[in-house]
Chain A
Amino acid sequence: MIRLDNLTKVFDTPKGAVTAADHITMEVPSGEICILLGPSGCGKTTTLKMVNRIIRPTSGKVFINDEDTTGLDTQDLRRSIGYVIQQIGLFPNMTIEENITVVPRLLGWDKARYQERARELMRMIALEPDAFLKRYPSELSGGQQQRIGVARALAADPPVMLMDEPFGAIDPINRAVIQDEFLKMQQALNKTIMFVSHDIDEAIKMGDRVAVFREGRLVQYSTPDDLLAAPRNAFVESFLGEDRALKRLNLVKVREVVSDEIGTVRPGDTLEQALARIDDFGYQNSILMVNDRRQPVGLITRALARTTKGYCRDHFQNVPATVALDDDLRKVASLMFAQDTTWLPCVDEEGRVCGQITQRAMTHHLGSRFRPTQEDDAPPPDAATRE
C-alpha cells in the first residue's frame, strides 16, 4: 500500500515559486496498479518521484504499508522500492547479470543467491538466461532492454514499484507485447505499483485505478470504468477524448453482457422448423445451427427458410465469427462492424455455444453505466475530494 498525505512540492524558479504538486492525498491499495495520468507539467511525475525522494517533498508524507517513510534512510527507502524509468537507464559498463543484480549486491546478498535470482528474473521476463546474462545492454533491442529494466527493479522483490512512463520509448507493437507480459507478471507478483503515463489507452489497459492530474492537483481518482463513465469535469472529459464510450469497450468482457438465451437448430431439422424457431425467438435475419456437441456450424437465414424446402444441413451459410467469454467488447464491436451483423454467437472454452451477444445488449450495458451518473452529479465514493 502506498498512501500520500498532503504531499506538496514547490519549486523555486527565477520566475517565482511554482507549485508542481499541491496537497496530493491518495492511497494505492496493496497489489494494485495506479496510473498517474495527465498532460505534461501536470505534476504526475513530480508526485511519483517524491515517493522515493528523487524529488524531495516540500511538505506532506508518504506512507508505505502504513509506515511513515519520512524517518527512513533515503538509500534504504530506495532499495526497498522498484524503480523503472522511461530512458531505461541500464548501466552500459555492466553485463545484464550485473545490471539485474545491482540492488541485491547493494543489499549484500551472497553471490550464489543473487546469481540464482538473476536466472529466475530472466525466466520471468521470458529472456533465455544463458543467452543474455553475460551480454551488455548495447547488444539488446529497446524492448529487451526495458524488460531488463523491469527485472532490475524487481530484483530484490520490493513490495512497491514506481514506474515513470516505462514503456513510452518503445515502438507501439512491442509496447503492447510488453504491457501484456507485465500484466501477466503482475497477476503473479501482486506488487503495489504507481505508474506514470500520459497515454489514456495505456492507463485504461494497465490501471486498476487512474489518478488524473492537472496543474499540480489531483482532479479525479477512480477505476478506469468509473473514470470513463463519469468524468468529474470538462477537463477530464476532454482529456479522455470524445470516444471515451468506445474506450470503455476495452474494459468490459463478453461474459458481463452475454445473454445465455439463444435459439438454435440442428442439421437434421427441416427449414420449416427453422423458420418457426426464428419467429419464436423473434430473430430478424437468421438462426444458428449447431452440431451434436453444440458447436456452431452454420446459419440458416430467414429468407432462405421461407422460400426453400429441405433440411437445414443442406442449406446453411458459414458462421461469420464467434466470440469467447473473455474477449472484450472492443473485439466484439469490431467483428460486428466487419461482418455487418448485430449479433454474434458466444462460445465457451470447448467451443460450445453458450449464448449470444447483441449490439443492443452492448449499448444498453454501456448506457446503463452512463445514465445514473449523468443525471446525478454526486462524485463516486472513491473519487478524490479535491478539485
Chain B
Amino acid sequence: MRLTGAALLTAAGLLAGLAQARALRMRADELDGLCRMLERMAFELGRFRTPLPALFAALAAQLDGQAAALCARAAEGLERLGEQDMAGIWAGALSPLEEREQAALLPLGQVLGRYGTEELLLALEGCRADMERLRDAARTDSRDRGRVAIGVSAAGAAALAVLLL
C-alpha cells in the first residue's frame, strides 16, 4: 500500500511537470501561429493586395488557435469602421493577447488600412521580426524550463514519497 502511494505521488509529480512543459510548448506554438499569420498577411497583401475585410475573414477560417481568433476579432471589428478607426479596431482585437505579444503587434495598427503596400510590408516585416524573437525565446524557454519542470516535479514528488515511506 505504501509503495503504491509512493508510486502515485511520484507519477503525480511527473504529470504536473509534464503539464507545465506542455503549457510552455503550447505558448511557443501559439507564437509560431502568430508568426505564420504575419507571413500570410504579407503574402496576401504583397501578392494580391487583398482588402482587409476579406483578408481577415479568410485568415480567421484558415488559421488555428490565437491567430485565427485574432483575425476573427479584427474582421468583426471592421464592421464598426467609421465609428472606430482601424488602429482602435486592431488594438481591441489584440487585447486578449499577452502584453509582450500586444506590444509586438500594436504598431501594425498605425499602418493597416491607411498606407500603401510598400509601407504595409515594411511594418509587417518589423512586427514579424519582433514576434519571431518572442517565439524563439519561448521555444528556448520551453526546451530548457520544460525539462527542468519535469525533472524537478518528478524528483520532488519522489523525494516526498521517500520521506513518507
- A and B co-occur in one complex: no
Q: Which residues of A contact B (CB under 8 A)?
A: none
